[in-house]
Structure 1
Amino acid sequence: MLSKGDKVVMNDKYYVSLKNAGKVFTVREGPQMVCGTMCVWLEGYCGAYAADGLTKVEESVEQK
């Protein structure tokens, strides 16, 4: 389960635009049910994003 402060990247479960592919986001709020889907809010991203479309990253991966 994701929580506030976690570092995540968008995985390939859903379409990811080129500008967001591989980008590390920080979870700023959530998780919370939105229209029947567990979602989180990300810093630098407008709106909520489905939690199952995100993969938590370790700090060593983030610092690449």
Structure 2
Amino acid sequence: MVNCYEAKKTPENIWVTRSKPWDLGYGQKVSLLEGKTGGFSVNCLEVVED
């Protein structure tokens, strides 16, 4: 997570997506994350590869 409240709250966490992104009714793209409830904005996610 980057550039959001959650990133500041838990900077050491790396989250794994559990869904492909989808559009909300007003156009915001979100994805489900393991261990979180509800969709999370993909604008605040950064790809990390092993």
Bin of the TM-score, shorter chain as denominator length? 0.7 to 0.9
User: Greater relative contact order: 1 or 2 (C-alpha under 8 angstroms, separation 6 or more)?
Assistant: 1
Paired residues, number: 48
4+ residue segments displaced more than 6 Å: none
1 or 2, which has the higher helix percentage? 2
Structural RMSD (CA): 1.4
1 or 2, which has the higher strand percentage? 1
**Structure 1 vs Structure 2: percent identity of aligned residues?**
25
TM-score by length of 2: 0.77
* Equivalent runs, 1:1-64 vs 2, <5 Å: 10-12=1-3, 14-16=4-6, 17-18=8-9, 20-35=10-25, 36-59=27-50
Gaps of 5+ in 2: none
